[in-house]
A = this chain, B = another copy of it.
Amino acid sequence: MAVQFPKHLKPIEPQGKALLQQERDKATFNSDSLKKYIYGNDYLEIRERILQILLADPLLSDKSHRYYNGRDIRFQKSLAAAKRLVELARIHKWNEEEVGMAEYLFDEPSAFRLHRSMFMPTIANQGTEEQKKLYLEPALKHEIIGCYAQTELGHGSNVRGLETTATYHLETQTFIINSPTLTSSKWWIGGLGVAANHAIVMARLITRGKDYGPHPFVVQIRNLENHEPLAGVVVGDIGPKFGFNTVDNGFILFDHMHVPHVALLARYSSVDKITGEYITPPNSKLAYGTMVYVRANIVLESRVVLARAATVAIRYSAVRSQGSDAANPKKLTNPDGTIKVVETPVLDYTMQQYRLFPIIAQAYACHFTGQEMHRMYHENQQKMSEGDFSYLADLHASSSGLKSLTTTLAVSAIEDCRRACGGHGYSLFSGLGQFYQDYLPKATWEGDNYLLTQQTTRYLLKTMRSVQSGKTKDKNATFSIEYISEYLANPQAKSHFTTVADLSNPEALLSAFKFRAAFLIEKAVYAIDIEQTSWNDMLVEIYRISRAHCQLVMVSNFLAAVFNNNKPVDATLCQALQRVAILFCLSTLEQETSDFLTSGYIVPAQALMIKQHFISVLKSIRPDVVALVDAFGFPDYLLNSALGENEGDVYEKMTAMAEKEPLNQSVVAEGYQNYIRPLIHGGKANWKFDNDGIARL
């Protein structure tokens, strides 16, 4: 007999549903309008259409097993789902965007993920026409399944340290792929552990005795008939991880394995088949353009990660009532019209607002920044096609730092939101635990979040030197040049924060962020060029500079979007977003106060004013917070969270999910007979039992 909750019991009044409705009624704007403004109708149409297909599919509609099962079962179920998604894509003739939407809504990384996101794009970008026919065509039909094998056991972020070699062997016209050491084992390769039969292997290309560094080779690794590893290959799964356990991250070692000449992806660089001569790639900056595109998407993804975490925590905080705020007690109207005092929703406590509201603001900041990155990407692609590369360096530098900053924000936000849910945040039913665990790697891949900042700052230091030396003629050529020039024109500038009203002035706020970033850059150039501080000793500062620059970019994009010409037409919407923008500026300012003080741009009295005023800015968006997360419109199917779903029936969901716990499928759980009874009945002689088994003591 399974454990069941008594069906007649209801949660204490007021009910979550009523509380959420109160919040929705309070909002100053229409959250549906905001939803359309954020996503556009096309996106919403696709999301709804794909959602309905998934909900109707017996294999994909039920996510309930995810929280109860270990890796063994989850991995098998995930493989089954991945196969089903491939079939659905065929049936419905989904395009890239639709497949991506299905994966997003299904929300579980799978063994085939890297096949689609890395294996095929790499061949498409770096393969010749012959290679595309050979590898890409069967890959599109899933007749071969691939992965992307770069990272090694001993080398992650430093690609130049890779040990795997691919030595061209003239006699056989083959490359010999070899793993010379244990540390040269490819490691962390998604899809490799179980699923893939092909891999793009990054190996040091050696020909005619010379090492040309890492190059990509398409290597068949498993027998296509029976999936056994080919001769010379040792391959397997790297084992359990903190998250991502539905993916078979794998390892592979090669023992002098010969692969054909065609294996080297040869669109840019190649080896002459007959002579073995290395043919140098044309110097191309085009790849950097693509990186900007990928990173713009990561920023837009950060947006929905932040918003999703906030959705759960905000809705639950509207429902969860705890204690009473003496100065502002929560009152409820009884059906008979009388008023009674009830407990205060935790959303009314300033500390909770302080922890959560900035995350909502960050989500919107990422939204507007990601959109602007996309716009600039297209503008830059256009320029590059006309031979104008003047935007590229600035765009690429900012995109590196923004990837780092926004994914760092998103990682923190999930965990902060989980903790802000109190005890229940620790239940997997919150939906935030596995979400955190699966999202985390974003801070490491596509560029480690610390290393990336070196690219950003190196560019900014160069820009500072160029402006300082007068080499830069056009002071408005790029945003970086512009704000660095402004700073150099007046390095003793002071803030305009005289009254609290100034703290809501977009111009004044933007100026502060510009000054602070430029100040840090100037100080670093001085330390390196004049004081001869080593790059290594500057790493902490380098990280800070990238962060300061990217916070400025986000502030600038957000303010421009809601205060300038293209601001939303709907006035209530516009005003609400303006408050959120100001909140974003002030929460960032408050968090980074020491930089602003250290630069001399603000004085202690202003810092105190900011700190105090920030509390009232939190209050200014309090009526809108549920509507602000509602506007992201995450389907309950995606959230999979007892605490955060749309209806607010938190406690009914928690108990319903607890009923499904495998240990509850019998009122006396497995383990009792073997491990508990022997202890209790060890001194059995002492016990006498009533008829109903109650001990007489």
Cα distance, A676 to B147, chains bound together (Å): 14
Given the known inter-chain contacts A86-B679, A427-B239, A686-B143, please indicate yes or no for A226 contacting B693, CB distance below 8 A.
yes
Proximity bits, A667-679, B CB within 8 Å = 1, else 0: 1111110111111
Cα distance, A633 to B686, chains bound together (Å): 44
- Contact between A694 and B230 (Cβ–Cβ < 8 Å)? yes
Q: List 29 A-B contacts (CB under 8 A).
A: A3-B234, A3-B237, A5-B185, A6-B253, A12-B184, A68-B239, A70-B72, A138-B697, A142-B682, A153-B654, A194-B676, A223-B693, A225-B689, A230-B694, A236-B667, A239-B427, A239-B661, A239-B664, A240-B427, A240-B661, A241-B426, A251-B658, A325-B536, A350-B537, A351-B450, A354-B539, A537-B615, A597-B607, A598-B611
Nearest Cβ in chain B — how far from A675, in angstroms? 4
Given the known inter-chain contacts A154-B12, A225-B689, A604-B598, please indicate yes or no for A67 contacting B183, CB distance below 8 A.
no
Taking CB atoms, residues of chain B closer than 8 Å to A241 are 426-428, 433
Proximity bits, A191-216, B CB within 8 Å = 1, else 0: 00111010000000000000000000
Cα distance, A71 to B444, chains bound together (Å): 28
Residue of A82, A237, A535 most packed against chain B (CB within 10 A): A237
Cα distance, A488 to B482, chains bound together (Å): 47
8 Å CB interface, A390-443 against B: 415, 418-419, 422-424, 426-429, 433, 440-441, 443
- Contact between B255 and A6 (Cβ–Cβ < 8 Å)? yes
Given the known inter-chain contacts A12-B181, A534-B328, A663-B248, please indicate yes or no for A676 contacting B79, CB distance below 8 A.
yes
Among the listed stretches A157-165, A269-277, A290-298, which one makes contact with chain B, having 4 or more residues with CB under 8 Å of it?
A157-165
Q: Does A44 contact B (CB under 8 A)?
A: no
Nearest Cβ in chain B — how far from A454, in angstroms? 9
Nearest Cβ in chain B — how far from A296, in angstroms? 24
User: Who on chain B is nearest to A652 by CB?
Assistant: B182
Residue of A231, A243, A424, A669 most packed against chain B (CB within 10 A): A669
Residue of A71, A220, A429, A536 most packed against chain B (CB within 10 A): A536
Residue of A223, A234, A240 most packed against chain B (CB within 10 A): A240
Nearest Cβ in chain B — how far from A160, in angstroms? 7
- Contact between A350 and B157 (Cβ–Cβ < 8 Å)? no
Nearest Cβ in chain B — how far from A219, in angstroms? 11
Cα distance, A695 to B259, chains bound together (Å): 12
Nearest Cβ in chain B — how far from A464, in angstroms? 18
Taking CB atoms, residues of chain B closer than 8 Å to A289 are none
Proximity bits, A50-70, B CB within 8 Å = 1, else 0: 000000000000000001111
- Contact between A422 and B157 (Cβ–Cβ < 8 Å)? yes
- Contact between A692 and B227 (Cβ–Cβ < 8 Å)? no
What are the nearest 6 A-B pairs in CB distance? A70-B70, A223-B693, A3-B236, A594-B594, A242-B433, A593-B594
8 Å CB interface, A607-648 against B: 607-608, 611, 615
Cα distance, A41 to B327, chains bound together (Å): 55
Taking CB atoms, residues of chain B closer than 8 Å to A422 are 156-157, 444, 448
8 Å CB interface, A231-283 against B: 231, 234-244, 248, 251, 253, 255
- Contact between A697 and B426 (Cβ–Cβ < 8 Å)? no
Q: Does A680 contact B (CB under 8 A)?
A: yes
Chain A interface category by residue count: 35 or more
Nearest Cβ in chain B — how far from A504, in angstroms? 19
Q: Does A382 contact B (CB under 8 A)?
A: no
- Contact between A350 and B697 (Cβ–Cβ < 8 Å)? no
Q: Does A651 contact B (CB under 8 A)?
A: yes
- Contact between A663 and B237 (Cβ–Cβ < 8 Å)? yes
Cα distance, A693 to B14, chains bound together (Å): 67
8 Å CB interface, A105-126 against B: none
Q: Which of B428, B594, B680 meets A607, CB within 8 Å?
A: B594
Q: Does A491 contact B (CB under 8 A)?
A: no
User: Who on chain B is nearest to A79 by CB?
Assistant: B675
Cα distance, A610 to B226, chains bound together (Å): 64
Q: Which of B79, B231, B598, B657 meets A597, CB within 8 Å?
A: B598
8 Å CB interface, A97-156 against B: 134-135, 138, 141-145, 151, 153-156
Nearest Cβ in chain B — how far from A234, in angstroms? 6
Nearest Cβ in chain B — how far from A684, in angstroms? 8
- Contact between B687 and A143 (Cβ–Cβ < 8 Å)? yes
Q: Does A36 contact B (CB under 8 A)?
A: no
Q: Does A543 contact B (CB under 8 A)?
A: yes
- Contact between A680 and B197 (Cβ–Cβ < 8 Å)? yes
Q: Does A458 contact B (CB under 8 A)?
A: no
Q: Does A465 contact B (CB under 8 A)?
A: no
User: Who on chain B is nearest to A231 by CB?
Assistant: B692
Taking CB atoms, residues of chain B closer than 8 Å to A68 are 71, 239-240
User: Who on chain B is nearest to A70 by CB?
Assistant: B70
Given the known inter-chain contacts A658-B251, A682-B141, A692-B223, please indicate yes or no for A426 contacting B441, CB distance below 8 A.
yes
Taking CB atoms, residues of chain B closer than 8 Å to A327 are 534-536
Q: Does A229 contact B (CB under 8 A)?
A: yes
Cα distance, A158 to B349, chains bound together (Å): 14
Nearest Cβ in chain B — how far from A69, in angstroms? 6
Cα distance, A659 to B193, chains bound together (Å): 12
Given the known inter-chain contacts A79-B676, A182-B652, A228-B667, please indicate yes or no for A161 contacting B323, CB distance below 8 A.
yes
- Contact between B234 and A354 (Cβ–Cβ < 8 Å)? no
- Contact between B661 and A183 (Cβ–Cβ < 8 Å)? no
Proximity bits, A319-349, B CB within 8 Å = 1, else 0: 0011101111000000000000001000011
Q: Does A179 contact B (CB under 8 A)?
A: yes
Cα distance, A663 to B323, chains bound together (Å): 50
- Contact between A194 and B537 (Cβ–Cβ < 8 Å)? no
- Contact between B664 and A240 (Cβ–Cβ < 8 Å)? no
Q: Does A655 contact B (CB under 8 A)?
A: yes
Taking CB atoms, residues of chain B closer than 8 Å to A466 are none
Taking CB atoms, residues of chain B closer than 8 Å to A508 are none
Q: Which of B157, B182, B600 meets A604, CB within 8 Å?
A: B600
Q: Does A477 contact B (CB under 8 A)?
A: no
